[in-house]
Amino acid sequence: MANHDTEQSEPAIDITHFRERLLAMRAEIEELASARAESQATVELDQSRVGRLSRMDAMQQQAMAKATAGRAETTLARIAAALRRCDEGSYGLCLGCDELINPQRLEIDPATTLCVECAEARDPG
């Protein structure tokens, strides 16, 4: 009779753990975004009261806020995609080579989609 060896050499990825991390990341970004929206409203109020110089400041601040918001949106999209992969059961698999991504790498960036090798191949340096 065949010896059913249920040996698991692959390190299992704790999806529950990473899903929680992803949800926490998302909550944090959304919180920051609403804080930003509030401070932006304050800037606009001040703007009507003060002169040209601080208007420049306000514009610069607005440009920076826009860039930050853009980055936040990108991160939110990555998080949403990672959560979807959790549901589909493909979380932790590299999109480049279909191998398991090192859990330590996922720990650093739970929304990452590539293993170290594929990430380095796409973005050398």
Q: Does 96 bind Zn ion (CB under 5 A)?
A: yes
Rounded Cα–Cα distance for residues 83 and 60 (Å): 35
Q: Kindly indicate which of the ranges 9-17, 42-50, 70-78, 91-99 contains the residues binding Zn ion, using the contact rule CB under 5 A.
A: 91-99
Q: Does 111 bind Zn ion (CB under 5 A)?
A: no
Rounded Cα–Cα distance for residues 121 and 112 (Å): 15
CB of 70 to Zn ion, least distance (A): 27
Q: Does 56 bind Zn ion (CB under 5 A)?
A: no
CB 93 within 8 A of CB 100: yes
Helices (H), the chain: 15-49, 52-88, 103-108, 116-122
Q: Where are the beta strands (DSSP E) in 11-105?
A: none
Q: Does 94 bind Zn ion (CB under 5 A)?
A: yes
DSSP-derived 3-state class of residue 93 = strand
Q: How many residues in the shown chain lie near Zn ion by CB under 5 A?
A: 5
CB nearer to Zn ion: give 7 or 123.
123
- Print the binding letters for residues 12-51 with Zn ion: x by CB under 5 A, - otherwise: ----------------------------------------
Rounded Cα–Cα distance for residues 125 and 27 (Å): 32
* Chain contacts with Zn ion (rule: CB under 5 A): 94, 96-97, 115, 118
